[in-house]
Amino acid sequence: MLLEIVTPEATLFSGEVDSVAVPGVNGEFQMLNNHAPIVSILKDGYVKISGNIQLEEEVEAKFEKKGNATWLAINSGTIEMKDNKVILLAD
């Protein structure tokens, strides 16, 4: 699936991933390939991205690699998944 992570400053990531786990306001949830359409508000926590992703050098410091997952700390945000594309608007 395609994941785009956008902040007010820049697009941090755009590329193919295996899964994305996010801190929803009603608890953490994960989206896999071909997940049902969803829109949710996110709270303070970590976005966990699984897959072999390549980060741009200028945004690499915002992410943390742990094993085969990449983590991004967020304060809040919104996420939408539709047609196998995830758009994450993060603060």
pLDDT of residue 68: 87
Question: What are the structural domains, with CATH classification, of the chain?
Answer: 2-90 (2.60.15.10)
d(CA 17, CA 51): 5
% helix / strand / coil in the chain, to the nearest 5? Answer: 5, 60, 35
Give me 31's structure tokens: 């989206």
Biggest CA-to-CA distance, the chain: 34
What's the predicted TM-score (pTM) here? 0.94
Give me 1's structure tokens: 């699936």
Tens digits of per-residue pLDDT, 7-21? 999 999 999 999 999
